[in-house]
A and B are shown apart, each in its own frame.
Chain A
Amino acid sequence: MKWDTCDPSEQYLLHLGDDALVLGHRLSEWCGHGPILEEDIALSNLALDLVGLARQYYQLAAKRIGGGTTEDRLAYWRGERDFKNHVLVEQPNGDFADTMARQFLFDAFHLLQLEAIEQSPDADLAAIARKALKETTYRAQHSSEWVVRMGDGTDESHSRINAALKRIWPFTDELFQPAEVDRIAAERGLGPDVRTLREPWLELIREVLAKAQLSLPDMPQKLLRGKSGVHSESLGFLLAEMQSLPRAYPDAQW
């Protein structure tokens, strides 16, 4: 099936689901490797939430696309080019500071994005956002607490989180650059005009960074097109691992 030919509203659901699934999968890679037990558990919990959220978007998309499409088909049988997630969320975990920097920058965006989607005239989509906002608030609180703890901590933790933020910063511009899928979603009132989220996002980020004794990175931004299916090298490896089981055993049940 050519996923690009499905209705743009359905593609928007896939875009939202892909962000949640890819970031959730990344976080799940921490399971058993967390720096402390509590954090290992927390990261796995965050991963579960995000994969759960991806399922809700995919279930809705599958129902609307019809023709026997299922949530599993959407997660496991689409290729790299079919995934419309932001390049930010597919970035490798790196060390704990890298993971928290990625999480913090995305969580702040995610909160604002969901607040806008909650107003969507599409009642099913708005319901998912309304529910997800609660758990996203927990995630945002968690990641910002870690940014503050590391930034305002020891010299070592400060320099690690500072370096992590600089590394991940160039991936954030894509959040606010509308791709085709955003443009149509905004036209139909399904989601926000992402350009309008940049200022409130910066405000949230600045507030936390100030508490963390960190300054806003000023690295040049990358020109990215993840939302149009053009990804970094990392996504292919992630999908190869995530999709290997159902592709090797298409009739597997779990």
Chain B
Amino acid sequence: MVSADDLRKRLHLVPDPEVPALSVLDLGIIRGLRIMPDGCEVDLSPTYTGCPATEVIERDVREALEELVGKGNVRIKTVLDPPWTSDWISEEGLRKLESYGIAPPPKRSSDKRSLLGISTPLNCPRCKSSHTERIAAFGSTACKSLHRCLDCQEPFEAFKCI
């Protein structure tokens, strides 16, 4: 008999397709996981509205869990409310992001004032200096902005807070 814990363990191995350092659990998008008589049910919160990875994530989660409960037995429910926020990324996820070279979003980012204050300097993920500047608010994917470290001169990406 498969337990919710088994499913959870399996999900730890499902990476975000665009930031593979993070698993879907680290991202905080799995809002519920239930064993049902005929398989399992997952509540999934999309991250950024325009993120093309959303459907890939759904497919990857489905395929991973189907290995445990059988094909066609995974039901995925998209949950919009409450909307996903970068605050839901786990502590471990934040550490993984930084060692992957992406500056993690500051905590309490769901506060709308911090959205408007996005240009507050972040710490460089390489040399940890806070002497950095934002180059562009929009980066290579919907979830990232572009920055530059003024000490080590390296450009870096940051995970946007929403």
Contact = CB atoms under 8 A, between A and B. Distances in A.
B105 to A, nearest CB: 12
Contacts of A38: 135-136, 138, 146
Nearest to A43: B138
A237 interface: no
B72 interface: no
Given A48-B52, A53-B49, A130 B81 contact: yes
B2 interface: no
Interface residues of B, number: 25
A149 interface: no
B141 to A, nearest CB: 8
Interface string A47-64: 111111100100000000
Is chain B's binding surface mostly helix, strand, loop or mixed? loop
A49 B46 CA distance: 13
B108 to A, nearest CB: 14
A132 B80 CA distance: 10
A126 B48 contact: no
A130 B82 contact: yes
A215 interface: no
Interface string B97-123: 000000000000000100110100000
B15 interface: no
Interface in B117-139: 118, 135-139
Is chain A's binding surface mostly helix, strand, loop or mixed? helix
Contacts of B37: none
Contacts of A47: 50
B160 interface: yes
Given A48-B52, A49-B50, A126-B81, A134 B138 contact: no
Contact of A56 (B49, B82, B160, B162): B49
Contact of B160 (A131, A133, A138): A138
Contacts of B116: 137, 141
A41 interface: yes
Interface of B: 48-52, 80-85, 112, 115-116, 118, 135-140, 142, 146, 160, 162
Interface of A: 38-39, 41-42, 45-53, 56, 123-124, 126-128, 130-135, 137-138, 141-142
22 contacts: A38-B146, A41-B136, A41-B139, A45-B139, A45-B142, A46-B138, A48-B142, A50-B50, A52-B49, A56-B49, A127-B81, A130-B83, A131-B49, A134-B83, A134-B85, A135-B49, A135-B50, A137-B115, A138-B115, A138-B162, A141-B115, A142-B137
